[in-house]
Structure 1
Amino acid sequence: MIAPARALAEMFPYFARCVDRNGVPPLWKRELGFGSLVHIILEQQVSLASAQAAFDRLARAVGRVTPETFLALTSDEARIVGFSRQKYGYCHGIAEQLIDAPEVLSVTGLSDDEAVAKLCKLRGVGPWTATVYLMFAGLRPDLWPHGDRALVVSMDNVLGLGGIPTYDDADVMAQAWAPQRTTAARILWHDYLGGVEYNERHGIASIYL
Protein backbone atom coordinates (compact mmCIF):
# COMPACT_ATOMS: atom_id res chain seq x y z
CA MET A 1 0.00 0.00 0.00
CA ILE A 2 2.89 2.39 0.73
CA ALA A 3 4.43 2.18 -2.77
CA PRO A 4 1.22 2.88 -4.73
CA ALA A 5 0.24 5.65 -2.29
CA ARG A 6 3.66 7.22 -2.78
CA ALA A 7 3.32 6.98 -6.56
CA LEU A 8 -0.05 8.76 -6.49
CA ALA A 9 1.25 11.40 -4.05
CA GLU A 10 4.20 12.15 -6.32
CA MET A 11 1.94 12.59 -9.35
CA PHE A 12 -1.02 14.42 -7.81
CA PRO A 13 -0.54 17.23 -5.25
CA TYR A 14 -4.03 16.74 -3.81
CA PHE A 15 -3.19 13.14 -2.92
CA ALA A 16 0.13 14.28 -1.45
CA ARG A 17 -1.71 16.72 0.83
CA CYS A 18 -4.23 14.05 1.75
CA VAL A 19 -1.60 11.45 2.66
CA ASP A 20 0.45 14.07 4.53
CA ARG A 21 -2.64 14.87 6.58
CA ASN A 22 -4.00 11.36 7.13
CA GLY A 23 -1.14 8.97 6.55
CA VAL A 24 -1.25 5.98 4.21
CA PRO A 25 -4.78 4.52 4.12
CA PRO A 26 -5.49 1.10 5.64
CA LEU A 27 -5.52 -1.89 3.32
CA TRP A 28 -8.89 -3.05 4.68
CA LYS A 29 -8.03 -6.61 3.61
CA ARG A 30 -10.83 -9.16 3.77
CA GLU A 31 -10.81 -12.89 3.22
CA LEU A 32 -11.86 -14.32 -0.09
CA GLY A 33 -15.15 -16.14 0.25
CA PHE A 34 -18.79 -16.04 1.19
CA GLY A 35 -18.35 -14.23 4.51
CA SER A 36 -16.78 -11.17 2.91
CA LEU A 37 -19.45 -11.08 0.23
CA VAL A 38 -22.16 -11.12 2.91
CA HIS A 39 -20.39 -8.29 4.75
CA ILE A 40 -20.27 -6.16 1.61
CA ILE A 41 -23.93 -6.84 0.85
CA LEU A 42 -24.72 -5.63 4.37
CA GLU A 43 -22.81 -2.43 3.54
CA GLN A 44 -25.07 -1.63 0.60
CA GLN A 45 -26.75 1.75 1.23
CA VAL A 46 -26.05 1.82 4.99
CA SER A 47 -23.24 3.16 7.16
CA LEU A 48 -20.12 1.08 7.63
CA ALA A 49 -20.71 1.06 11.38
CA SER A 50 -24.23 -0.30 10.97
CA ALA A 51 -23.06 -3.01 8.58
CA GLN A 52 -20.17 -3.98 10.85
CA ALA A 53 -22.50 -4.25 13.84
CA ALA A 54 -24.86 -6.51 11.89
CA PHE A 55 -22.00 -8.68 10.64
CA ASP A 56 -20.60 -9.00 14.17
CA ARG A 57 -24.02 -10.13 15.43
CA LEU A 58 -24.18 -12.63 12.59
CA ALA A 59 -20.77 -14.03 13.50
CA ARG A 60 -21.81 -14.37 17.14
CA ALA A 61 -24.97 -16.18 16.06
CA VAL A 62 -23.46 -18.67 13.61
CA GLY A 63 -19.70 -18.66 14.24
CA ARG A 64 -17.71 -18.66 11.02
CA VAL A 65 -19.91 -17.25 8.26
CA THR A 66 -20.10 -19.91 5.55
CA PRO A 67 -22.87 -20.94 3.17
CA GLU A 68 -23.71 -23.84 5.47
CA THR A 69 -23.89 -21.81 8.68
CA PHE A 70 -25.86 -19.05 6.99
CA LEU A 71 -28.47 -21.47 5.66
CA ALA A 72 -29.03 -22.70 9.22
CA LEU A 73 -30.21 -19.18 10.09
CA THR A 74 -33.97 -18.63 9.95
CA SER A 75 -35.43 -15.49 8.41
CA ASP A 76 -36.56 -14.33 11.86
CA GLU A 77 -33.07 -14.84 13.28
CA ALA A 78 -31.59 -12.96 10.33
CA ARG A 79 -33.97 -10.06 10.94
CA ILE A 80 -32.87 -9.86 14.59
CA VAL A 81 -29.24 -9.86 13.45
CA GLY A 82 -29.95 -6.89 11.19
CA PHE A 83 -30.76 -8.22 7.73
CA SER A 84 -33.53 -6.68 5.70
CA ARG A 85 -35.79 -9.19 3.99
CA GLN A 86 -34.16 -8.36 0.66
CA LYS A 87 -30.56 -8.72 1.86
CA TYR A 88 -31.40 -11.97 3.65
CA GLY A 89 -32.93 -13.26 0.43
CA TYR A 90 -29.84 -12.31 -1.55
CA CYS A 91 -27.42 -13.96 0.89
CA HIS A 92 -29.61 -17.05 1.28
CA GLY A 93 -29.74 -17.49 -2.48
CA ILE A 94 -25.98 -17.00 -2.85
CA ALA A 95 -25.34 -19.54 -0.08
CA GLU A 96 -27.51 -22.12 -1.85
CA GLN A 97 -25.76 -21.46 -5.14
CA LEU A 98 -22.29 -21.78 -3.60
CA ILE A 99 -23.11 -25.11 -1.98
CA ASP A 100 -24.11 -26.46 -5.38
CA ALA A 101 -21.33 -24.69 -7.31
CA PRO A 102 -18.55 -23.32 -5.06
CA GLU A 103 -16.50 -22.41 -8.13
CA VAL A 104 -18.84 -19.47 -8.73
CA LEU A 105 -16.63 -17.31 -6.50
CA SER A 106 -13.42 -18.39 -8.21
CA VAL A 107 -12.10 -15.53 -10.33
CA THR A 108 -8.46 -16.57 -10.59
CA GLY A 109 -7.09 -15.89 -14.05
CA LEU A 110 -9.96 -13.63 -15.05
CA SER A 111 -9.55 -10.01 -16.06
CA ASP A 112 -11.16 -7.38 -13.85
CA ASP A 113 -14.10 -7.00 -16.23
CA GLU A 114 -14.54 -10.77 -16.49
CA ALA A 115 -14.38 -11.18 -12.72
CA VAL A 116 -16.97 -8.46 -12.12
CA ALA A 117 -19.26 -9.96 -14.76
CA LYS A 118 -18.98 -13.43 -13.22
CA LEU A 119 -19.76 -12.22 -9.71
CA CYS A 120 -22.70 -10.19 -10.99
CA LYS A 121 -24.37 -13.43 -12.05
CA LEU A 122 -25.08 -14.00 -8.35
CA ARG A 123 -28.48 -12.64 -7.35
CA GLY A 124 -28.02 -9.52 -5.23
CA VAL A 125 -24.51 -8.82 -6.48
CA GLY A 126 -24.26 -5.77 -8.72
CA PRO A 127 -21.21 -3.98 -10.12
CA TRP A 128 -20.55 -2.02 -6.90
CA THR A 129 -20.64 -5.12 -4.68
CA ALA A 130 -18.54 -7.17 -7.09
CA THR A 131 -15.97 -4.40 -7.51
CA VAL A 132 -15.60 -3.75 -3.78
CA TYR A 133 -15.24 -7.49 -3.15
CA LEU A 134 -12.43 -7.68 -5.70
CA MET A 135 -10.77 -4.59 -4.22
CA PHE A 136 -10.83 -5.74 -0.59
CA ALA A 137 -10.77 -9.53 -0.82
CA GLY A 138 -9.03 -9.92 -4.17
CA LEU A 139 -6.64 -6.96 -3.63
CA ARG A 140 -6.93 -6.02 -7.28
CA PRO A 141 -4.99 -2.78 -7.79
CA ASP A 142 -6.89 -0.92 -10.49
CA LEU A 143 -10.61 -0.96 -9.78
CA TRP A 144 -13.07 1.87 -9.22
CA PRO A 145 -16.58 1.26 -7.77
CA HIS A 146 -19.11 3.19 -9.82
CA GLY A 147 -21.88 4.71 -7.74
CA ASP A 148 -20.05 5.05 -4.42
CA ARG A 149 -21.46 8.09 -2.63
CA ALA A 150 -18.60 8.43 -0.14
CA LEU A 151 -16.05 8.56 -2.95
CA VAL A 152 -17.70 11.37 -4.89
CA VAL A 153 -18.18 13.40 -1.70
CA SER A 154 -14.52 12.86 -0.82
CA MET A 155 -13.43 13.78 -4.36
CA ASP A 156 -15.16 17.13 -4.01
CA ASN A 157 -13.32 17.78 -0.74
CA VAL A 158 -9.87 16.41 -1.60
CA LEU A 159 -9.69 17.70 -5.17
CA GLY A 160 -11.42 21.01 -4.38
CA LEU A 161 -13.98 20.58 -7.14
CA GLY A 162 -16.51 23.05 -5.80
CA GLY A 163 -19.29 20.51 -6.11
CA ILE A 164 -19.91 16.79 -5.86
CA PRO A 165 -19.29 15.16 -9.25
CA THR A 166 -21.76 12.81 -10.87
CA TYR A 167 -20.88 9.14 -10.75
CA ASP A 168 -20.13 9.15 -14.48
CA ASP A 169 -17.87 12.20 -14.16
CA ALA A 170 -16.09 10.56 -11.22
CA ASP A 171 -15.45 7.47 -13.34
CA VAL A 172 -13.85 9.64 -16.02
CA MET A 173 -11.69 11.56 -13.54
CA ALA A 174 -10.56 8.33 -11.88
CA GLN A 175 -9.09 7.12 -15.16
CA ALA A 176 -6.19 9.51 -14.51
CA TRP A 177 -5.25 7.40 -11.47
CA ALA A 178 -4.87 4.13 -13.36
CA PRO A 179 -3.24 1.70 -12.78
CA GLN A 180 -3.67 2.50 -9.06
CA ARG A 181 -7.35 3.38 -8.86
CA THR A 182 -7.90 1.01 -5.94
CA THR A 183 -5.33 2.90 -3.87
CA ALA A 184 -6.81 6.23 -4.97
CA ALA A 185 -10.20 5.03 -3.72
CA ARG A 186 -8.66 3.97 -0.40
CA ILE A 187 -7.05 7.40 0.04
CA LEU A 188 -10.39 9.09 -0.64
CA TRP A 189 -12.37 6.74 1.60
CA HIS A 190 -9.82 7.22 4.39
CA ASP A 191 -10.20 10.99 4.21
CA TYR A 192 -13.99 10.70 4.14
CA LEU A 193 -13.91 8.53 7.28
CA GLY A 194 -11.75 10.99 9.18
CA GLY A 195 -8.17 10.00 8.46
CA VAL A 196 -6.12 10.12 11.66
CA GLU A 197 -9.25 10.20 13.82
CA TYR A 198 -10.46 7.03 12.08
CA ASN A 199 -7.10 5.38 12.80
CA GLU A 200 -7.30 6.34 16.46
CA ARG A 201 -10.85 5.01 16.83
CA HIS A 202 -9.85 1.68 15.31
CA GLY A 203 -6.40 1.31 16.85
CA ILE A 204 -4.59 1.66 13.52
CA ALA A 205 -1.06 3.06 13.54
CA SER A 206 -0.75 6.08 11.23
CA ILE A 207 2.01 5.57 8.65
CA TYR A 208 3.40 8.56 6.78
CA LEU A 209 5.48 8.69 3.62
Structure 2
Amino acid sequence: MRAPELSEETLATGVVALSARDRDLAAVVARFGPPPLWARDPGFGTLIQIILEQQVSLASARAAYLRLLAVIGEPLPERVLVLTDDQLKRVGFSRQKAAYVRALAQAIVSGAFEIDALDSLDDERARSALLTLKGIGGWSADIYLLMALRRADVWPGGDLALAIAVREVKRLRKVPGPERLATISRAWRPWRAVAARVLWHHYLSTPRTRGSARRSA
Protein backbone atom coordinates (compact mmCIF):
# COMPACT_ATOMS: atom_id res chain seq x y z
CA MET A 1 0.00 0.00 0.00
CA ARG A 2 1.26 3.46 -0.90
CA ALA A 3 2.43 5.56 2.05
CA PRO A 4 0.51 8.76 2.80
CA GLU A 5 1.71 11.99 1.22
CA LEU A 6 2.56 14.93 3.42
CA SER A 7 0.81 18.23 2.84
CA GLU A 8 0.61 21.35 4.99
CA GLU A 9 -2.45 19.81 6.65
CA THR A 10 -1.01 16.35 7.31
CA LEU A 11 2.29 17.90 8.42
CA ALA A 12 0.38 19.87 11.06
CA THR A 13 -1.41 16.69 12.14
CA GLY A 14 1.92 14.91 12.50
CA VAL A 15 3.44 17.75 14.50
CA VAL A 16 0.52 17.66 16.95
CA ALA A 17 0.76 13.87 17.28
CA LEU A 18 4.52 13.93 17.90
CA SER A 19 4.29 16.82 20.35
CA ALA A 20 1.77 14.85 22.40
CA ARG A 21 4.05 11.83 22.75
CA ASP A 22 7.56 13.38 22.83
CA ARG A 23 8.18 16.32 25.13
CA ASP A 24 11.57 17.07 23.55
CA LEU A 25 10.05 17.51 20.10
CA ALA A 26 7.21 19.48 21.70
CA ALA A 27 9.82 21.83 23.19
CA VAL A 28 11.35 22.43 19.75
CA VAL A 29 7.92 23.28 18.31
CA ALA A 30 7.13 25.54 21.27
CA ARG A 31 10.42 27.41 20.82
CA PHE A 32 10.66 27.68 17.03
CA GLY A 33 7.15 26.95 15.79
CA PRO A 34 6.10 24.18 13.40
CA PRO A 35 8.65 23.20 10.74
CA PRO A 36 8.27 24.04 7.05
CA LEU A 37 7.08 21.31 4.70
CA TRP A 38 10.35 21.56 2.74
CA ALA A 39 8.82 19.93 -0.32
CA ARG A 40 10.51 19.55 -3.70
CA ASP A 41 9.06 18.77 -7.09
CA PRO A 42 9.41 15.09 -7.99
CA GLY A 43 11.49 14.36 -11.06
CA PHE A 44 14.91 14.39 -12.68
CA GLY A 45 15.84 17.89 -11.53
CA THR A 46 15.40 17.08 -7.86
CA LEU A 47 17.50 13.92 -8.17
CA ILE A 48 20.27 16.02 -9.76
CA GLN A 49 20.12 18.39 -6.79
CA ILE A 50 20.27 15.53 -4.31
CA ILE A 51 23.33 14.08 -6.05
CA LEU A 52 24.99 17.49 -5.95
CA GLU A 53 24.24 17.78 -2.21
CA GLN A 54 26.20 14.64 -1.36
CA GLN A 55 29.21 15.51 0.83
CA VAL A 56 28.94 19.29 0.29
CA SER A 57 26.97 22.17 1.75
CA LEU A 58 23.48 22.91 0.51
CA ALA A 59 24.62 26.36 -0.65
CA SER A 60 27.41 24.92 -2.79
CA ALA A 61 25.09 22.33 -4.32
CA ARG A 62 22.43 24.94 -5.03
CA ALA A 63 24.94 27.20 -6.78
CA ALA A 64 26.09 24.35 -9.04
CA TYR A 65 22.51 23.43 -9.90
CA LEU A 66 21.64 27.01 -10.84
CA ARG A 67 24.70 27.18 -13.09
CA LEU A 68 23.54 23.96 -14.76
CA LEU A 69 20.09 25.44 -15.38
CA ALA A 70 21.71 28.53 -16.89
CA VAL A 71 23.30 26.23 -19.48
CA ILE A 72 20.49 23.77 -20.26
CA GLY A 73 17.31 25.56 -19.20
CA GLU A 74 14.72 22.97 -18.19
CA PRO A 75 16.42 19.99 -16.50
CA LEU A 76 15.71 17.22 -18.99
CA PRO A 77 17.75 14.00 -19.28
CA GLU A 78 18.30 14.51 -23.01
CA ARG A 79 19.82 17.93 -22.41
CA VAL A 80 22.22 16.63 -19.78
CA LEU A 81 23.42 13.82 -22.04
CA VAL A 82 24.67 16.24 -24.71
CA LEU A 83 26.90 18.12 -22.27
CA THR A 84 30.62 17.42 -22.32
CA ASP A 85 32.68 16.58 -19.26
CA ASP A 86 34.26 20.03 -19.44
CA GLN A 87 30.85 21.71 -19.46
CA LEU A 88 29.72 19.77 -16.41
CA LYS A 89 32.99 20.51 -14.65
CA ARG A 90 32.61 24.24 -15.33
CA VAL A 91 29.19 24.36 -13.69
CA GLY A 92 30.50 22.59 -10.60
CA PHE A 93 30.20 18.83 -11.07
CA SER A 94 33.01 16.61 -9.87
CA ARG A 95 34.00 13.83 -12.25
CA GLN A 96 32.18 11.32 -10.05
CA LYS A 97 28.96 13.32 -9.80
CA ALA A 98 29.01 13.98 -13.54
CA ALA A 99 29.15 10.21 -14.07
CA TYR A 100 26.24 9.71 -11.65
CA VAL A 101 24.04 12.27 -13.37
CA ARG A 102 24.89 10.90 -16.82
CA ALA A 103 24.00 7.38 -15.67
CA LEU A 104 20.71 8.64 -14.22
CA ALA A 105 19.84 10.51 -17.42
CA GLN A 106 20.68 7.48 -19.55
CA ALA A 107 18.59 5.18 -17.35
CA ILE A 108 15.58 7.47 -17.75
CA VAL A 109 16.00 7.95 -21.50
CA SER A 110 16.43 4.21 -22.09
CA GLY A 111 13.42 3.35 -19.95
CA ALA A 112 15.50 1.30 -17.52
CA PHE A 113 14.39 3.61 -14.71
CA GLU A 114 10.84 5.00 -14.66
CA ILE A 115 11.01 7.94 -12.33
CA ASP A 116 7.30 8.76 -12.57
CA ALA A 117 6.42 5.21 -11.48
CA LEU A 118 7.95 5.78 -8.03
CA ASP A 119 4.87 7.67 -6.94
CA SER A 120 2.72 4.53 -7.16
CA LEU A 121 5.12 2.34 -5.15
CA ASP A 122 5.20 1.87 -1.39
CA ASP A 123 8.18 3.24 0.54
CA GLU A 124 10.25 0.06 0.48
CA ARG A 125 9.79 -0.64 -3.22
CA ALA A 126 10.37 2.98 -4.21
CA ARG A 127 13.55 3.08 -2.13
CA SER A 128 14.76 -0.18 -3.67
CA ALA A 129 14.18 1.20 -7.17
CA LEU A 130 16.21 4.32 -6.38
CA LEU A 131 19.04 2.25 -4.92
CA THR A 132 19.53 0.50 -8.27
CA LEU A 133 20.86 3.79 -9.66
CA LYS A 134 24.58 4.52 -9.72
CA GLY A 135 25.40 7.18 -7.14
CA ILE A 136 22.13 6.91 -5.23
CA GLY A 137 22.69 5.55 -1.74
CA GLY A 138 20.42 5.28 1.26
CA TRP A 139 20.53 8.97 2.21
CA SER A 140 19.79 10.17 -1.33
CA ALA A 141 16.91 7.72 -1.74
CA ASP A 142 15.43 8.69 1.63
CA ILE A 143 15.64 12.42 0.91
CA TYR A 144 13.85 11.93 -2.41
CA LEU A 145 11.09 9.94 -0.71
CA LEU A 146 10.83 12.43 2.14
CA MET A 147 10.89 15.69 0.18
CA ALA A 148 9.83 14.92 -3.40
CA LEU A 149 7.31 12.13 -2.78
CA ARG A 150 6.47 13.58 0.66
CA ARG A 151 6.21 10.22 2.39
CA ALA A 152 5.26 10.58 6.05
CA ASP A 153 7.29 7.77 7.64
CA VAL A 154 10.71 7.94 5.96
CA TRP A 155 13.75 8.43 8.19
CA PRO A 156 17.04 9.56 6.54
CA GLY A 157 19.38 7.96 9.03
CA GLY A 158 22.56 9.03 7.23
CA ASP A 159 21.90 12.75 7.69
CA LEU A 160 24.52 14.30 9.96
CA ALA A 161 22.46 17.41 10.73
CA LEU A 162 19.69 15.15 12.04
CA ALA A 163 22.16 13.22 14.19
CA ILE A 164 23.49 16.47 15.67
CA ALA A 165 19.95 17.72 16.28
CA VAL A 166 18.96 14.48 18.03
CA ARG A 167 21.99 14.75 20.31
CA GLU A 168 21.07 18.33 21.22
CA VAL A 169 17.32 17.82 21.59
CA LYS A 170 17.67 14.55 23.52
CA ARG A 171 20.68 15.86 25.49
CA LEU A 172 22.85 12.86 24.60
CA ARG A 173 26.53 12.71 25.50
CA LYS A 174 27.63 12.18 21.89
CA VAL A 175 26.25 12.25 18.37
CA PRO A 176 24.32 9.00 17.84
CA GLY A 177 25.23 6.65 15.02
CA PRO A 178 22.77 5.29 12.44
CA GLU A 179 21.76 2.27 14.54
CA ARG A 180 20.94 4.30 17.62
CA LEU A 181 19.16 6.89 15.49
CA ALA A 182 17.03 4.14 13.98
CA THR A 183 16.16 2.91 17.47
CA ILE A 184 15.26 6.40 18.70
CA SER A 185 13.19 7.14 15.60
CA ARG A 186 10.96 4.08 16.06
CA ALA A 187 9.03 5.98 18.71
CA TRP A 188 8.05 8.55 16.06
CA ARG A 189 6.32 6.14 13.68
CA PRO A 190 4.25 6.68 11.56
CA TRP A 191 5.48 10.29 11.46
CA ARG A 192 9.26 9.89 11.21
CA ALA A 193 9.50 12.26 8.23
CA VAL A 194 7.68 14.87 10.31
CA ALA A 195 10.08 14.27 13.21
CA ALA A 196 12.97 14.78 10.78
CA ARG A 197 11.53 18.15 9.77
CA VAL A 198 11.12 19.19 13.42
CA LEU A 199 14.75 18.25 14.08
CA TRP A 200 16.03 20.03 10.97
CA HIS A 201 14.02 23.05 12.10
CA HIS A 202 15.86 22.92 15.43
CA TYR A 203 19.23 22.52 13.71
CA LEU A 204 18.72 25.44 11.33
CA SER A 205 17.15 27.71 13.97
CA THR A 206 19.86 27.17 16.59
CA PRO A 207 22.89 29.51 16.33
CA ARG A 208 26.05 27.52 15.72
CA THR A 209 29.56 28.49 14.69
CA ARG A 210 30.45 25.30 12.85
CA GLY A 211 29.73 24.87 9.16
CA SER A 212 26.73 23.12 7.72
CA ALA A 213 26.67 19.38 8.19
CA ARG A 214 27.65 17.43 5.12
CA ARG A 215 25.43 14.75 3.64
CA SER A 216 26.31 11.19 2.75
CA ALA A 217 25.28 9.46 -0.46
- Check whether the contact 1:22–1:195 (CA below 8 A) recurs between aligned residues: no
Question: 2:184 maps to which residue?
Answer: 173
Inter-partner Cα distance in structure 2 for 1:195 and 1:6: 22
Residue 104 of structure 1 contacts residue 118 of structure 1 at CA under 8 Å; is this kept in 2? no
Counterpart in the other structure of 1:207: none
What CA deviation, in whole Å up to 9, does each residue of 1:124-176 have, x standing for no partner?
Answer: 11111111101111000000112111111110011111221111110111011
Aligned equivalents of 2:17, 2:206: Cα separation in 1: 19
Residue identity opposite 2:153 in structure 1: D
CA distance in 2, matches of 1:73, 1:191: 40
Gapped regions of structure 2 (runs ≥ 5): 1-10, 208-217
Counterpart Cα distance in 1 of 2:182 and 2:201: 19
Answer whether contact 1:35 1:66 (CA < 8 A) is retained.
yes
- 2:180 is aligned with 1:153: no
**Corresponding residue to 1:126 among 134, 137, 140:** 137
Q: Distance in 1 between matches of 2:121 and 2:89?
A: 36
Contact 2:14 2:191 in 1 (8 A): yes
Query: How big is the shift at 1:104?
Result: 2.4
Whole-Å separation in 2 of the counterparts to 1:21 and 1:47 = 26
Conserved in 2, the CA contact under 8 Å of 1:93 and 1:123?
A: yes
Q: Deviations over 1:160-197 (max 9, x none)?
A: 1122111111011101100000010111112112269x
Q: What SS is found at the alignment partner of 1:46?
A: coil
- Aligned partner letter, 2:188: W
Moved more, 173-182 or 22-31: 22-31
Shift of 1:70: 1.3
Over 6 Å off, 4+ runs = none
| Aligned match for 1:79, one of 66, 89, 96 | 89
2:70 matched to 1:60? yes
Contact 2:119/2:149 (CA < 8 Å) preserved in 1? Answer: no
- Provide TM-score, normalisation by structure 2: 0.86
**Partners of 1:102 and 1:137 in 2: CA distance:** 20
Q: From 141, 154, 178, give the equivalent of 1:143.
A: 154
Q: Structure 2 CA distance, aligned partners of 1:23 and 1:73?
A: 44
What's 1:110 paired with? 121
Aligned CA RMSD, in angstroms, stands at 1.7
2:202 corresponds in structure 1 to: 191
Cα distance in 1 between the residues matched to 2:151 and 2:120: 12
For the 8 Å contact 2:138–2:158, the answer to whether it is kept is no
| Structure 1 unaligned spans of 5+ | 197-209
Deviation per residue, 1:4-25 (Å, 9 max, x gap): 1121112111111101112111
Q: TM-score, normalised by structure 1?
A: 0.89
Q: Where do residues 12-91 of structure 1 align in structure 2 (5 Å cutoff)?
A: 12-91=22-101
Q: Would the alpha carbon gap of residues 112 and 13 (structure 1) be closer, same or farther in structure 2, given more than 3 Å must change?
A: same
CA deviation profile, 1:89-115 (whole Å, cap 9, x unmatched): 000111011011175222233221111
Report the count of equivalent residues: 197
- Which residue of the partner structure matches residue 203 of structure 1? none
Q: 1:72 to 1:115 in 2, by over 3 A?
A: same
